[in-house]
Structure 1
Amino acid sequence: MRSAFFGAMAGYKALPGIAGWPQMVIAVFARIPAAMVPLGAMVAFTDSTGSIATGGLATGFVAIATAIFSPLIGQWVDRYGQRRVLSIFAPLNAIALLALFLAAIWGLDEAPLFLICALTGATTIPIGSFTRARWSEVTQNPKELGTAFSYESTVDELVFVLGPAFVGFAASAAVSAAPLGIAAALVIVAVLPFALTSPKRMPASPAEEPGEDAPVTRPGILMTLRKISPALIIMGCIGTFFGSSQAAITERAAEFGSPDAAGLSYALMGIGSAAMALLMVVVPDRVSLATRVLIGGLGMAVFTLITIVQGNLVMTSVMLLFTGLFLGPTLVTAFTAAERLAPKGGMSSAMTSLQASLTVGVSVGSAIGGGLAAAAGSAGAYLFAAALPVVIVFVGVILARIRP
């Protein structure tokens, strides 16, 4: 068993040989702007306008535009290739972020501000989605692909946790708008190189040999969404779980008189999730996707319910860590299920749609969880969060029937 464990973990050593170290490093840094912008916009515009409501609306416009346009960018990539599409969107996103930075400096408000926020979200490139699409094309080995997806989910989790922390550091060390300026710079030095080194074309199937610039027949986005609907539901539930859990732990920390500790407590769930995502490579292939989803959903539900009855912040944080141990594998499994369910030629649309589902889920979870926390305390938000993994369990039953 010991040798099997180390043999599985050794699979990560093969990834740089498949994708190349430069590409993997660029992809990590290219994720950071998207992780910084939501909280960065909230902090910058709350400070510049003196209204937390305006800061929240600014973040909401970014998130909604990102969720709407990510699948569309994915569809265009499926049709025309990553390099052509992303090379257009990367500089546009850098310009939009620079405009957002200046809007915070100048104190813009209302319609002009929200328009810039929408443009920022609409031009945001979902890096994690496109790296996964690349992996699915450069390796046909299921074990290597599973290892790559585990690695990508771990990177996503770490950036998701560290991005907001970086926002807090930059805003406190300089001005509140500084994170937006840093995000614009990172788009130029990381996202643009990611775009320019993207593959020109990923064929729809081995039988098709289109010309380099000729569009090929691709599945419609509605067909892709229908095919991957189980994975979309799982990802939407995970996003909503994230958002409601954020609201719950924020309220719980305030209840215990330590509001500043909320971020650290929540980060433990992200750390547990990232660690288990990395360890997913040791799970034997004989364990089906349905079984993984069922176990993940049940574990998330049980430990979230246990979290409700904890009488101090330390044990609450421990329960969040345990919850993350089940969340990470479920996240990885959702991407694997989408890869298997997606129609040929629709991989980029599938992966970006999953990211959009996660983004929408976080926004919905934050709104509902925040309302419940205000009305019924942290227990109300946690009860709502605990219901979401139950939905994931039902999707696991559906996956057991269709066996992707």
Structure 2
Amino acid sequence: MKSYLAVLGSPGAWRFLAPAFLARLPYAMLQLGILLLVQWSTGSYGAAGIAAAAAAVTQALVGPQTGRLADRYGQPKVLIPQVVVHAATLGALLVLASSHASAIVLAVVSALAGGSMPQVGSMVRTRWAHLLGGSGKLGTAFALESITDELTFTLAPVLLVAISTGFSPVWALLVALVMVVAGTVMFAAVRKGAPEPMPVRVRSQGGVLRMRGVAVLAVAFVALGTVFGSLQVGITSSTATLGQAAAAGPIYAAFSGASFVGGILYGTLRWRIGAPVRLVGAIGLLSAATVALIFAGSIPLLYGGAAMAGFVIAPAVITGYTLVETLIPAEVRTEAFTWLNGSIGLGIATGATVAGQLVDRFGSSLAFLVPPVTTGLAALLVLVFLRSLKPATDRSPTREPASIA
């Protein structure tokens, strides 16, 4: 654990890590919170699913644009206006849901709330890259960030459901609103680790996605996101079919816990194999591991399959973030990290939607068909474009970005 202690002991790190954690919990609560809120307001799961998907899609599309602005003008100048807009739109959504507005109106406002969500997680990674770039500690810092993501996505649903059950989804999202405003404002006020604004000189119509290897990683991260989304649906439907619906939470916790352990172990290792090859291997192993869930006809097998998948997914995510930092210039770090974050969110929404349709038509076990297919295709894609994931010798900010090939 010395490598983690060395990273956490970086001067001033806790000053931005603590408020960032507070701001990131609501990020993990938003999609499920909107689902519960709109279903509570309209009585329709269909309307709730559309509203939650709208929030996820706008978050995935708008997030990188705010990341670009943060790179150019500095994090505080983007975060403060963004959290004001988010507070206004999420507050409006709570008022409209309480007054039982139409499903269309709720979906539109949900999209606005998702698109205005502060991208604090990407900005934390940017600060680590600014503080530790070239020191050999950056891989461990990104492992720490993936562990933090797992922790927030484990704690947030528990907190959200507890408040929703005890009071109402309105109160649950109101608590999330207070946390995101407080955490974001405190994070923006901390200057330690925040890079200075830099003029963006990427000469390409496609921007960061046209840069060497970034689009490949974004597509791979969509596939990784489908694992999270489809497992949520598959585990829930399978445990209900087996007559043990209450086991869904602990089984998904086993997935998250195994990912937590896998991330910790991965971050302590020093690899001789290059990161592009490690990424192919991790995604390929994930595809193989998730096949077991298709045939998991009992609760113990579901526990085992979920744990195997979780143990492998964290190394894949960590490697992807480490790779993208080597492929892009410092002036577009936040935008690049936000593309990967948004890709995971888009994958979660896609995986949950496709898995839900498969469950409705063919049965619960078919939800588990999504992860091996999507990750298998992603592993093949990364293998085909492996050369594009090897850093170019010239990483100057003004170089012309390469295509994904």
TM-score after normalising by structure 2: 0.90
1:47 & 1:203 partners in 2: Cα distance? Answer: 43
Alpha carbons of 1:48 and 1:151: their partners in 2 closer, same or farther (altered >3 Å)? same
Task: After TM superposition, list the pairs within 5 Å mapping 1:346-365 onto structure 2.
Answer: 346-365=332-351
* Correspondent of 1:202 among 196, 205, 208: 196
Deviation of 1:14 after TM superposition, in Å, equals: 3.2
Instruction: For residues 87-118 of structure 1, give each alpha carbon's deviation from its aligned partner in whole angstroms, at most 9, with x where no partner exists.
Output: 21112212222222222222222343223212
Matched residue type, 2:346: V
Alpha carbons of 1:255 and 1:201: their partners in 2 closer, same or farther (altered >3 Å)? same
* TM-align CA RMSD: 2.0
2:7 & 2:41 partners in 1: Cα distance? Answer: 48
Deviation of 1:177 after TM superposition, in Å, equals: 1.3
Larger mean CA deviation between 96-105 and 82-91 belongs to: 96-105
Matched residue type, 2:67: G
Q: Does 1:325 align with 2:311?
A: yes
Matched residue type, 1:52: Y
Task: After TM superposition, list the pairs within 5 Å mapping 1:136-215 onto structure 2.
Answer: 136-198=129-191, 202=196, 204=198, 215=199
8 Å contact kept, 1:100–1:180: no
Q: Does 1:63 align with 2:56?
A: yes
Unaligned runs of 5+ in 1: 1-5, 205-214
2:48 & 2:170 partners in 1: Cα distance? Answer: 12
Instruction: For residues 115-163 of structure 1, give each alpha carbon's deviation from its aligned partner in whole angstroms, at most 9, with x where no partner exists.
Output: 3212211210122111111111122235211111000010011111221
1:338 & 1:57 partners in 2: Cα distance? Answer: 32
Deviation of 1:401 after TM superposition, in Å, equals: 3.0
1:298 & 1:272 partners in 2: Cα distance? Answer: 18
Residue 110 of structure 2 corresponds to: 117
Structure 1 outlier segments of 4+, above 4 Å: 198-201, 218-221
Unaligned runs of 5+ in 2: 392-405
Instruction: For residues 339-363 of structure 1, give each alpha carbon's deviation from its aligned partner in whole angstroms, at most 9, with x where no partner exists.
Output: 1112441111101111111111111
Task: After TM superposition, list the pairs within 5 Å mapping 1:22-171 onto structure 2.
Answer: 22-171=15-164
Alpha carbons of 1:290 and 1:142: their partners in 2 closer, same or farther (altered >3 Å)? farther
Deviation of 1:332 after TM superposition, in Å, equals: 0.5
Q: Does 1:280 align with 2:266?
A: yes
Residue 338 of structure 1 corresponds to: 324
Q: Does 1:20 align with 2:13?
A: yes
Deviation of 1:59 after TM superposition, in Å, equals: 1.1
Deviation of 1:259 after TM superposition, in Å, equals: 2.1
Residue 223 of structure 2 corresponds to: 237
8 Å contact kept, 1:75–1:221: no
Deviation of 1:396 after TM superposition, in Å, equals: 4.0
Alpha carbons of 1:254 and 1:378: their partners in 2 closer, same or farther (altered >3 Å)? same
Deviation of 1:321 after TM superposition, in Å, equals: 0.5
Alpha carbons of 1:220 and 1:190: their partners in 2 closer, same or farther (altered >3 Å)? farther
8 Å contact kept, 2:130–2:194: no
Percent of residue pairs identical? 28
1:93 & 1:179 partners in 2: Cα distance? Answer: 16
Deviation of 1:200 after TM superposition, in Å, equals: 6.8
Deviation of 1:307 after TM superposition, in Å, equals: 2.0
Residue 224 of structure 1 corresponds to: 208
Deviation of 1:83 after TM superposition, in Å, equals: 1.3
Matched residue type, 1:140: G
Matched residue type, 1:249: I
Deviation of 1:186 after TM superposition, in Å, equals: 0.6
1:394 & 1:143 partners in 2: Cα distance? Answer: 29
8 Å contact kept, 1:11–1:147: yes
Alpha carbons of 1:70 and 1:144: their partners in 2 closer, same or farther (altered >3 Å)? same
Larger mean CA deviation between 283-292 and 151-160 belongs to: 283-292
2:40 & 2:327 partners in 1: Cα distance? Answer: 45
TM-score after normalising by structure 1: 0.90
Residue 395 of structure 2 corresponds to: none
8 Å contact kept, 1:16–1:24: no
Alpha carbons of 1:277 and 1:221: their partners in 2 closer, same or farther (altered >3 Å)? farther
8 Å contact kept, 2:282–2:313: yes
1:201 & 1:84 partners in 2: Cα distance? Answer: 13
2:60 & 2:279 partners in 1: Cα distance? Answer: 24
2:195 & 2:217 partners in 1: Cα distance? Answer: 25
Residue 310 of structure 1 corresponds to: 296
Alpha carbons of 1:274 and 1:219: their partners in 2 closer, same or farther (altered >3 Å)? farther
